[in-house]
Amino acid sequence: MKKNILSIALASAISASVILTGCGSKEVPDTANADKITLTNVSYDPTRELYTSYNEIFAAHWKELKGQDVEIIQSHGGSGKQALEVANGLEADVVTLALEYDVKAVQDAGLIEDGWVNEFDKESAPYTSTIVFLVRKGNPKNILDWGDLVNDGVGVITPNPKTSGGARWNYLAAWAYADKLYGGDEAQTKEFIKKLYQNVLVLDSGARGATTTFVENGQGDVLLAWENEAYLSIKDYPDDYEIITPSISILAQPSVAVVDEVVDKRGTREAATEYLNYLYSDEAQRIAGDNYYRPSNPDILAEYANTFDLDVNLVTISDFGGWDEAQAKHFADGGVFDEIYEK
Amino acid sequence: MKKRSVRVIPMFGLSMGVTLAMLSVIVLIPLASLVVFTAQMSFSDIIETLTRERVLASFRVSFGTAFLASAINAVMGVILAWVLVRYDFPGKRILDGMIELPFALPTAVAGIALTSLTADKGLVGSFFARFGIKIAYTKIGITVALVFIGIPFVVRAVQPVLEKLDPSFEEAAGVMGASRSRIFRQVIFPELAPAVFTGFGLAFGRCLGEYGSVVFIAGNKPFETEITPLIIMSELQEYDYSSATAIALVMLITAFLILFLVNLIQARNTKILGR
């Protein structure tokens, strides 16, 4: 019997080590002299087309600069989910996520050094967007501004701000409108938000899901959407939808950052930094504009005056005291968003 | 000295060792980490998290729809298995293969397809909408998705038992004058029951944790159609691991209890049948 136990233990140990292998080597590769390097860009859903175009011009730019080929691996998914993956060890040289709060989660995991927000221009947001309304052609319910969303019989589609990073912008934009309307009276503002979410027919878990619900499945009268997503829907179905830009909205700033821990280990800091820096070049800014993101360079933005409604009054996240404060007040367990759903 | 036991089949030590290692690395260690994460909360915090109105409502939605869907599958699965085993007809092989498609299809695809079909503008949904019945974005929709996900479990559990069932027992019962319904109740069903319970238990466990397909069809409205896995996802989105794992642990324990109970019933049945 003793021999038997021994062989069981031995076999356990061997197969466990077989299963657990795969922990890589530790040395830092010398990438500066390599012929080719790879960078991994972990991003969120709607930037797929943007970065596909951008990666091409960046590869050309880097070749010219260093004579080196660069291959960029893109990863897309829900912003919060992507942040979790990077925090849990997915090797990303750079993250380009939907909001600062998600990049901060990667920072909190010890992978990004403090001060990343000021590492690049415009608070590390090379392109921005805002929240607009997508309505059915001819705007049958005559929805022109946030106030029209709380009317009886208006069906609103927006994702759940608790599961979708992007949807937090929708919520905050509505809040900004009501806050201004009621001159800062919080009780009335809450009541407005509550009414708005009572008109929400389907609370999808992510932004793309909400678009599917509205566009493919024909639910609701108005979709609260990122401007770039709304333009993509219009591009696909020009005869079915219209974009309404409300009087007030929020400046959505998708954040970019170099993942310090990873680039130091892989020896890719220089390339990764340049990858994000080059997003501010005129060429890259135009690619952003072509993909319906608002370029952060005001001169380039002016070139797109025909595309975007530049008159909209945009509040920013600092008006809410920054993400930490907004998160704690509105979206944390027991926050305002939970309150409006309590019975 | 004890007599050394000699086994007829060799390699017991090796295969048992591999089994233990696999189970530990793939199942036990990840599950233990769930407990460790949850243990970072104080007991009162855990209770507070689990008894939040919204969490309780989601438990009701998840357990209710999973139970209903598994019950439907238990009935439909037996009928499907019966047809596939007992009758010969053209296209039987294809039909048999189709049963497993829900396993192979990414659940998100299933969810989106079912939603567009059953939304009130969709092919099936528009028919029911005429009678004022909404399928997508209600609990009915969730149940439909779960029936889709769970059906192979029951069919595949019942099929092999039916194949081995000797039709001569039924013939004998028929010769002795038993009615058809009596033959089913007293000859066929007792043989099938353990397999049906197994299939039910497996389907229930699977449905409880199903996320990919259900989020698309559920509508996700708090207190109405919000499933527990979605609550877990939103806790994770807030980077609140311990709350997420605490809720997950409840689902896990319940699923385990159900499977355990199913095994108990099965063991008891086997005993009664005297084998």
A218-238 pLDDT, tens digit per residue, is 899 999 999 998 998 898 898
At A113, is the pLDDT very low, low, confident or very high (cuts 50, 70, 90)? Answer: very high
pLDDT surpassing 50 at residue A33: yes
Q: Which two tokens stand for residue A167?
A: 């949807």
Phi, psi at residue A202, to the nearest 5°? -135, 125
Tokens 């009928």, residue? B79
3-state secondary structure of B40: coil
Q: Chain-wide mean pLDDT for chain B?
A: 88
Residue B12 lies in a domain: no
A2: contact with B, CB 8 A cutoff: no
Locate A291 and state its tokens: 């993909």
Asked if A160 has any chain B CB less than 8 Å from its own CB, the reply is: yes
**Alpha carbons within 13 A on the beta-carbon side of B166:** 4
Domain-embedded: residue B234: yes
The reported pTM is: 0.80
Nearest to B102 by CA among B149, B157, B159: B149
- How many angstroms separate the CA of residue B2 from the nearest CA in chain A? 9
Q: 3-state DSSP call for residue A321?
A: coil
pLDDT value for A6: 63
Tokens representing residue A320 in the block:
């809410």
Amino acid at site A96: T
Q: How far apart (Å, rounded) are the C-alpha atoms in residues B232 and B228?
A: 6
Domain presence at residue B30: no
Per-residue confidence (pLDDT) for residue B274, from 0 to 100: 55
Residue A276: beta bridge partners?
none
Question: Containing H/E element for A136?
Answer: strand A127-136
Buried b (16+ CB within 10 A) or exposed e, B180-193: eeebeeebbeebbb
Residues of A in contact with B237 (CB under 8 A): 80-81, 162-165
Number of structural domains chain B divides into: 1
pLDDT tens-place string over residues A134-161: 999 999 999 999 999 999 999 999 999 9
Q: What are phi and psi of B120, to 5 degrees?
A: -65, -10
What distance in Å separates the CA atoms of residue B197 and residue B74, rounded to the nearest whole number? 8
Residue B162 maps to a domain: yes
Confidence of residue A170 (pLDDT cuts 50, 70, 90): very high
For residue A62, which of A242, A339, A274, A215 has the smallest C-alpha distance? Answer: A274
Lowest mean per-residue pLDDT among A56-70, A278-292, A319-333, B2-16: B2-16
Instruction: Quote the pLDDT of residue A9.
Output: 66
Cβ separation B121–A9 shorter than 8 A: no
Considering only the beta carbons, identify the residue of B120, B220, B243 that sits closest to A203. Answer: B220
The encoded tokens of residue B203 equal 């389907």
Strand extents, DSSP E, B30-157: none
Question: CA–CA separation, B115 vs B44, rounded Å?
Answer: 40
Q: Which two tokens stand for residue B258?
A: 């159900």
Return the pLDDT at B203. Answer: 94
A142 close contact with B: CB closer than 8 A: no
DSSP B166: -
- From the DSSP assignment, how many helices (H) and strands (E) are in chain B? 15, 0
Q: Is the pLDDT of residue B129 over 60?
A: yes
| Full domain range(s) for residue B114 | 35-273
| 8 Å CB contact of A200 and B221 | yes
Q: Cβ A1–B222 below 8 Å, yes or no?
A: no
Burial track B107-130 (b if 16+ CB lie within 10 A, e otherwise): beebbbbbbbbbbbebeebeebbe
Report CB contact under 8 Å: A84, B5. Answer: no
Chain B CB contacts of A165 under 8 Å are 237
Return all residues near B243 (Cβ < 8 A) that are at least 6 apart: A333, B41, B49, B235
Mutation test of the interface with chain B: which of A10, A101, A162, A324, choosing the one with the most B Cβ atoms within 10 A?
A: A162
Grouping H, G, I as helix, E, B as strand and the rest as coil, residue A127 is strand
Under a CB-based contact definition with an 8 Å cutoff, are residues A106 and A86 in contact?
yes
Distances (CA, A) of A279 to A56, A93, A282, A337, B155: 12, 15, 8, 35, 55
Among the partner-chain residues B22, B115, B238, the one whose CB lies closest to the CB of A15 is B22
Q: Which of B50, B237, B239, B245 to mutate to test the interface with A (most CBs of A within 10 A)?
A: B237
Whether the predicted interface score ipTM is above 0.90: no
- Domain contains B245: yes
In this prediction, residue B30 carries a pLDDT of: 86
Q: What is the C-alpha separation between A235 and A227, in angstroms, rounded?
A: 12
Start-to-end C-alpha separation, chain B: 36
CATH number at residue B183: 1.10.3720.10
pLDDT mean over B213-237: 89
Q: B28 in a domain, yes or no?
A: no
- When pLDDT is cut at 50, 70 and 90, the band that residue B38 belongs to is confident
Distance from the Cα of A174 to chain B's closest Cα (Å) equals: 19
Q: Flag whether B29 is in a domain.
A: no
pLDDT exceeds 50 at position A23: no
In a domain, B188, yes or no: yes
Residues of chain B in contact with residue A201, where contact means CB-CB under 8 angstroms, are 137, 219
